[in-house]
């Protein structure tokens, strides 16, 4: 009999505690392997009903160790997130940037040229291709594969035909297309005037490429102690770099994240920030400002956090860091019992659970105690009552979950001002973010789009008969206080793409159809749902053609779908044109850097598994004007009126006037 009682007690606790474990797996599903998720779980472990507290520096090494000891118990609430690779998975939200050089341009004079498709104009992001209108800088990854014959001793093997490296290619005029030189290092690239920055594993190199035929290494930064680059931006010739390092619990201090130009940077425990409340801290993050010209570190800030998934977004004014948090499950249980189960549970048992909330023990220990308290209560019931209690639990928990879904999971926000490079605000919102485009700063306000409830994988659907998810958009002021919201978008769906454009917001949710929502965000205190459109499939990437035309690239069935939305009337958005491509995938679905738009020619480029595609959107109609089949297309750039399609092993140049091939270079 005791085993039956204990089993029901454990079932009650499992329903609650499994929420957290399920949420971890959800993060891995929703934020796919291309996610460029930069600073992770930084400062606040927030719950829906508690204050997020403040931050402060550690007072001593012992203070650091004591904090880490406590945080070990919090880690039992969920597994670590997957390691993320640099820049993967950030979906672009801004117009394609162009650069027009000064002075008149002739037919064979380099004039306008494209830049990497980035989220915020003027803030560059690392990618495998850069150009200055004269040279193309192309980094090719070495090919690795796992030895599939012995998984126990699996190792990475690099085929000799491609050892990676970064190629400097004379690009203009197209007739002179030629390889100038190849640098041995490969990786994501940034270009700051004549300095080419290469993120190459444990080292970051700065090359002077003034002489494209003879680049010279000018500086390097070496990562120390298993530090890894998780994010970078280039803004006003400064590199904003973030690294993370797994905490050594036995010897956490001091921290030596990197050396630059032969000088080691050491950070004391007393210079590392932490929240005033405990979080599952297992890594130290350090953000740097690095001078792109000299490689010198000009500023840095370090803080403890969690290795679970987070989002990094940078505006011209600030860096925003997000991290997931979970409700205090003991408090959640008490609130449920107190509000919905008070007629079924004894006052003595309820009071014991209430006292347990304030015990100075770990969350894991609290859950153990909660199980014991619940078991003792169930032992006092006869079999008939236990059966009734079990059924009442299922039904009442489903209702309680629906009404309190926003309190069970949320996202903490930290704002770092670029002027002083210090924390200027923090806050929180319900739900979880998809990617960097779930965040956007406009006129001092932050807009955020979240999905709520998806993390539980239908845990409560057995009670309610449906898989409950909702989607919200929040507006926050400069201090990260919520000023307004639009709630309950796409019931039982999740967000697949977001774009904010000035005082408008565009959100795509999906489960079976593609609701395309238009939001009016003109009044930060009263954002509103303006209109919506439901069509088959979904858009994973949104790009503004103009303020009134939005391009959506996604999937319909097993094929790539392109949609052109007219949002001139926000209350009645329409799909002006649609094209279904005979491709099952495009890198644009996961990586915004693969997208290129040429506003002058009114075309855009889309890479596929079978080649590269150029579409026209003239006259509000999508038309495939050129397909290039004999290339494993990765990126495209334009210089003047020439489009360069860049593949793994070749570059093909097209004349944008008649789309004829004018040049080719085998790599």
Q: What is the pLDDT of residue 74?
A: 59
Report H helices in 380-480.
383-408, 461-464
Q: Are the C-beta atoms of 280 and 78 separated by less than 8 Å?
A: yes
Q: What token pair was written down for 46? A: 């927030």
CB contact at 8 A, 123 and 233: yes
* Cβ neighbours of 205 (radius 10 Å): 23
DSSP secondary structure letter of residue 630: S
Locate tokens 């030189």: which residue? Answer: 181
Indicate whether 545 belongs to any domain: yes
Give the Cα separation of 170 and 164 in Å (integer): 19
Mean of the per-residue pLDDT values of the chain: 82
pLDDT at 405: 85
From residue 15, alpha-carbon distances to 12, 22, 30, 580 in Å are 5, 11, 22, 43
pLDDT band, residue 341 (cuts 50/70/90): confident
pLDDT of amino acid 111? 82
Residue 279: pLDDT band with limits 50, 70, 90 = low
Can you spell out the DSSP letters for 327-347? Answer: --HHHHHHHHHHHHSTTTS-H
User: At residue 279, what are phi and psi to the nearest 5 degrees?
Assistant: -130, 165
What average pLDDT does this structure show over 24-49?
A: 31
For the record, the structure tokens of 426 come out as: 């923090």
Q: Is residue 38 part of a domain?
A: no
Residues 629-647, mean pLDDT to the nearest whole number: 96
CA dihedral 232, 234, 238, 241 (to 10 degrees): 0
Using pLDDT thresholds of 50, 70 and 90, give the confidence band for residue 364.
Answer: confident
Phi first, then psi: give them for residue 222, nearest 5 degrees.
-110, 125
DSSP lists the bridge partners of residue 653 as 644, 663
Give the mean pLDDT of 259-279.
84
Which pLDDT score, from 0 to 100, does residue 659 have? 97
**Structure tokens that stand for 608 in this block:** 């596929």
What local confidence, expressed as pLDDT, does residue 425 receive?
Answer: 86
Q: Residue 293: name the closest of 238, 241, 235 by CA.
A: 238
Note the pLDDT of residue 298: 95
Residue 254, token pair as written in the block: 């001091």
Hey, which of 381-390, 402-411, 472-481 has the most confident mean pLDDT?
Answer: 472-481
* Average pLDDT of the residues in 610-639: 97
Contacts of 378 (CB under 8 A, 6+ apart): 5, 6, 8, 9, 386, 389
Nearest to 504 by CA among 459, 450, 567, 560: 567
Question: How many CA atoms lie less than 13 Å away from 282 in the CB half-sphere?
Answer: 15
Separation between Cα atoms, residue 631 and residue 129, nearest integer Å: 16
| Percentage above 90 pLDDT, the chain | 52
pLDDT of res. 472: 97
Q: What's 621's domain CATH number?
A: 2.130.10.10
Q: Which structural domain range is residue 601 located in? A: 493-666
Q: Which of 123-137, 293-307, 351-365, 459-473 has the lowest mean pLDDT?
A: 459-473
Radius of gyration, CA atoms only, the chain: 27
**Which one has a higher pLDDT value, 236 or 458?**
236
Q: Does residue 21 surpass a pLDDT of 50?
A: no
Asked whether 206 and 177 are in contact (CB, 8 A), the reply is no
Q: Is residue 212 part of a domain?
A: no
Q: What is the pLDDT of residue 419?
A: 93
Q: State whether residue 199 is helix, strand or coil.
A: strand
pLDDT score of 231? 81
Residue 569 backbone phi and psi in degrees, to 5: -100, 100
Q: Which range is least confidently modeled, 109-113, 195-199, 269-273, 489-493? A: 109-113
Yes or no: say if 475 and 484 are a contact pair by the CB < 8 Å rule. Answer: yes
At 455, the pLDDT band (50, 70, 90 cuts) reads low
Better-predicted residue by pLDDT, 318 or 8: 318
What whole-number distance in Å separates Cα of residue 246 and Cα of residue 224? 12
Tell me if 550 is assigned to some domain.
yes
Residue 32 CA from chain centroid, whole number: 9
- Across the range 206-215, mean pLDDT stands at 97
Exposed / middle / buried, residue 574 (Cβ in 10 Å: 0-12, 13-18, 19+): middle
Domain count along the chain: 1
Q: Which helix (H) or strand (E) holds 235?
A: strand 228-235
- For tokens 């993050």, the residue is 285
Task: Judge whether 349 lies within some domain.
Answer: no
Residues in the chain: 667
Instruction: Look at residue 22 in the predicted model and tell me its pLDDT.
Output: 38
DSSP secondary structure string for all residues of 205-228: EEEE-SSTTS-EEEEEEEE-TT-E
**In the prediction, which pLDDT does 253 show?**
80
When pLDDT is averaged across residues 347-374 and rounded to a whole number, the result is 87
Q: Domain for residue 254, yes or no?
A: no
Decide if 520 is inside a domain.
yes
| Position 240 in a domain | no
DSSP secondary structure string for all residues of 484-523? EEEEEESTT-EEEEEEEETTEEEEEEESSEEEEEEEE-SS
């Amino acid at each position: 009999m005791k085993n039956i009682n204990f089993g029901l007690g454990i079932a009650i606790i499992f329903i609650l505690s499994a929420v957290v474990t399920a949420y971890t797996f959800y993060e891995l599903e929703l934020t796919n392997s291309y996610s460029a998720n930069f600073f992770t779980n930084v400062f606040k472990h927030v719950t829906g009903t508690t204050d997020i507290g403040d931050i402060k520096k550690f007072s001593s090494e012992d203070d650091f160790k004591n904090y880490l000891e406590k945080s070990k118990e919090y880690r039992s609430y969920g597994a670590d997130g997957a390691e993320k690779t640099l820049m993967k998975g950030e979906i672009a939200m801004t117009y394609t940037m162009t650069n027009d050089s000064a002075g008149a341009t002739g037919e064979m004079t380099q004039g306008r040229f494209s830049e990497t498709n980035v989220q915020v104009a003027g803030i560059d992001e690392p990618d495998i291709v850069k150009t200055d209108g004269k040279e193309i800088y192309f980094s090719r990854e070495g090919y690795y594969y796992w030895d599939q014959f012995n998984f126990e001793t699996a190792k990475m093997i690099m085929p000799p035909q491609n050892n990676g490296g970064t190629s400097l290619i004379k690009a203009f005029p197209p007739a002179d297309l030629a390889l100038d030189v190849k640098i041995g290092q490969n990786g994501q690239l940034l270009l700051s005037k004549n300095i080419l920055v290469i993120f190459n594993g444990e080292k970051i190199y700065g090359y002077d490429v003034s002489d494209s035929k003879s680049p010279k290494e000018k500086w390097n930064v070496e990562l120390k102690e298993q530090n890894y680059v998780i994010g970078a931006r280039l803004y006003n010739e400064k590199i904003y770099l973030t690294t993370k390092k797994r905490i050594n619990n036995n010897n956490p201090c001091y921290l030596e994240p990197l050396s630059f130009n032969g000088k080691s940077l050491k950070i004391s425990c007393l210079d590392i920030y932490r929240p005033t409340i405990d979080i599952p801290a297992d890594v130290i993050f350090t953000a740097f400002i690095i001078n792109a010209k000299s490689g010198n570190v000009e500023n840095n800030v370090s803080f403890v956090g969690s290795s679970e998934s987070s989002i990094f977004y940078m505006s011209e004014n600030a860096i925003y860091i997000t991290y997931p948090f979970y409700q205090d499950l003991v408090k959640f249980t008490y609130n449920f019992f107190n509000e919905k189960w008070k007629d079924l549970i004894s006052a003595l048992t309820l009071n014991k659970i209430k006292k347990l909330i304030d015990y100075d023990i770990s969350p894991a220990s609290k859950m153990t105690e909660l199980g014991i308290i619940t078991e003792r209560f169930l032992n006092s019931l006869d079999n008939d009552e236990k059966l009734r209690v079990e059924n009442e639990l299922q039904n009442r928990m489903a209702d309680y979950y629906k009404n309190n879904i926003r309190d069970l999971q949320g996202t903490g926000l930290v704002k770092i001002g670029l002027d002083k490079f210090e924390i200027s605000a923090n806050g929180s919102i319900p739900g979880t973010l998809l990617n960097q485009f779930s965040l956007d700063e406009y006129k001092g306000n932050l807009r955020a789009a979240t999905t709520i409830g998806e993390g539980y994988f239908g845990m409560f659907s057995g009670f309610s008969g449906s898989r409950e998810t909702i989607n919200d958009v929040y507006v926050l002021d400069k201090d990260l206080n919520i000023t307004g919201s639009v709630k309950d978008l796409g019931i039982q769906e999740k967000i697949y793409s977001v774009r904010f454009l000035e005082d408008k917001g565009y959100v795509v949710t999906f489960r079976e159809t593609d609701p395309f929502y238009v939001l009016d965000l003109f009044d930060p205190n009263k954002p509103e749902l303006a209109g919506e459109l439901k069509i088959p499939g979904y858009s994973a990437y949104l790009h503004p053609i103009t303020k009134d035309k939005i391009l959506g690239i996604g999937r319909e069935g097993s094929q790539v779908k392109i949609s052109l939305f007219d949002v001139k009337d926000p209350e009645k958005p329409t799909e002006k044109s649609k094209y279904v491509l005979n491709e099952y995938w495009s890198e644009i679905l996961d990586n915004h850097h693969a997208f290129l738009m040429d506003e002058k020619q009114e075309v855009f480029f889309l890479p596929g598994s079978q080649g590269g595609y150029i579409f026209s959107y003239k006259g509000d109609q999508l038309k495939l004007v050129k397909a290039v089949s004999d290339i494993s297309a990765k990126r495209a750039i334009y210089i003047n009126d020439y489009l360069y399609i860049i593949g793994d092993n070749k570059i093909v140049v097209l004349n944008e006037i008649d789309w004829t091939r004018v040049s080719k270079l085998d790599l």
